[in-house]
Structure 1
């Protein structure tokens, strides 16, 4: 996996965004999930030294390695993950302030030892993968879940509830409650890419920033999502609208022009042109 390295010297936001582009430029399977999540968190405060957070993530992994052995069974490995992350290091799901934006910022999750399913899931996936075992996020209609395996056995864990293992009845209840399907619950278990996990993490911040009318935070977060989504036009249009709301009219116009000149996304052109016309009126 590609691992980014930078020292304790603070860097600016533009440099961090470039490092984000580099981090996700590799194959999805080679993206260092936790490292990239730290980089996303640093975009909110570029002065933060990431070295201690990287060392903490390494410690979680080494502690799990110290309590397992070659050939350990799946249940033994899950027990080690649960003991190290949730008992020894004190992580938990934040039930009291679930919607706190800090819960989707990996730096603050590590500081506070609490988070939401996707941020805790990233920590668990990282600690698991370092052992050489396979782990992935699951496309769940409700809380984010993770799928782990060692020697071919599979298990689905709930990172918000101390990596509790879900059986078929748990999965059936979760998936049918949201989707109304009566098929075998395991048929609904679909692994998601590292990039999708990171987008889900950022989307939690984006939604909450918009809910509390924090335009600056919504803009910063959507800009990072544009990078993660490889310049998806839908995020370009949203960025233009947020810049317009912030009074950055010329910058918003530039984003709209970039969208309209690009290939595809014709379904967004009507909205983009309407916003463009409105902004032209404000410039006159």
Structure 2
């Protein structure tokens, strides 16, 4: 595991720079790549955004500047044709292809807005990811996957209602902490890898998740599950033990304790 990844796991949430973190994760899969060119690309986009949005004061004006630069000039948009392509959650490949998933594109939008000191957050909307520009004074919600299209209150409500019809009721939509965004990015990669029959790849991604977000029990559970499938019993026990160290969820603790007892009796 790289030193950069380990350092990322030790940062306070507010100190995480989303573009830097996503690039660190991508570089793990491209050891031959020189990240300098990608930093230069992001710096160039920032400079162009600074020029276009120099006079942007309102959330609407800033959202328009982001759309003009990222979607209009640089061509970033959602990959609807090959949505499940792993490249869509890999920031290096997203920059190369100008295509990505909602979460990877939202990372770019939010990171570049924050570089200019603009308020921007990623919203965890059921079944989707959106970006909130501004906060108190007339904030704007946009969809980077759709080129920065404005999302009305009615459209947001429809997304929440649709999710409620197919699962637990959603009472509110909140901004995601930076670490949760990275977990979402890794989860996208891991679930697609496992669906493609690449268990070892999925295990690597869940291992990264436990380094980036060591207090996130789900990552440890999935890591333990795949370690046990792979016959790595000692590693699986250690991952299960980590869950007991970080969670107070009584149901989960009981589940982990029962599994550890079963492993001990084997």
Give your verdict on TM over 0.5. Answer: yes
| Residue of structure 2 in register with 1:251 after alignment | 235
Q: How far apart are 1:281 and its partner, in Å?
A: 6.8
Q: How far apart are 1:261 and its partner, in Å?
A: 6.3
Per-residue Cα deviation, 1:245-283 (whole angstroms, up to 9, x for no partner)? 22323322333344456663543344435544565577x
CA distance in 2 between counterparts of 1:166 and 1:34 reads 23
Secondary structure of the corresponding residue to residue 147 of structure 1: strand
Residue 125 in structure 1 maps to residue 110 in structure 2: yes
Which stretch of structure 1 is more off in the superposition, 117-126 or 198-207?
198-207
| Residue of structure 2 in register with 1:18 after alignment | 6
* TM-score, normalization by structure 2: 0.87
Q: 1:50 to 1:281 in 2, by over 3 A?
A: farther
Which stretch of structure 1 is more off in the superposition, 73-82 or 55-64?
73-82
CA distance in 1 between counterparts of 2:204 and 2:18 reads 20
Per-residue Cα deviation, 1:63-86 (whole angstroms, up to 9, x for no partner)? 011112245443333222112111
Secondary structure of the corresponding residue to residue 192 of structure 1: coil
Residues 6 and 212 in structure 2, CA contact (< 8 A), matched pair in contact too: no
Instruction: Tell which has more relative contact order, 1 or 2 (C-alpha 8 A, sep 6+).
Output: 2
| Structure 1: runs of 5 or more not aligned | 1-12
| Residue of structure 2 in register with 1:51 after alignment | 36
| Residue of structure 2 in register with 1:146 after alignment | 131
Residues 138 and 192 in structure 1, CA contact (< 8 A), matched pair in contact too: yes
Q: 1:67 to 1:118 in 2, by over 3 A?
A: same
| Residue of structure 2 in register with 1:6 after alignment | none
| Residue of structure 2 in register with 1:75 after alignment | 60
**Corresponding residue pairs, total:** 262
Residue 205 in structure 1 maps to residue 185 in structure 2: no
Residues 215 and 246 in structure 2, CA contact (< 8 A), matched pair in contact too: no
- RMSD of aligned C-alpha atoms? 2.6
| Residue of structure 1 in register with 2:46 after alignment | 61
CA distance in 1 between counterparts of 2:196 and 2:80 reads 20
Per-residue Cα deviation, 1:126-153 (whole angstroms, up to 9, x for no partner)? 1111111100011201210010028933
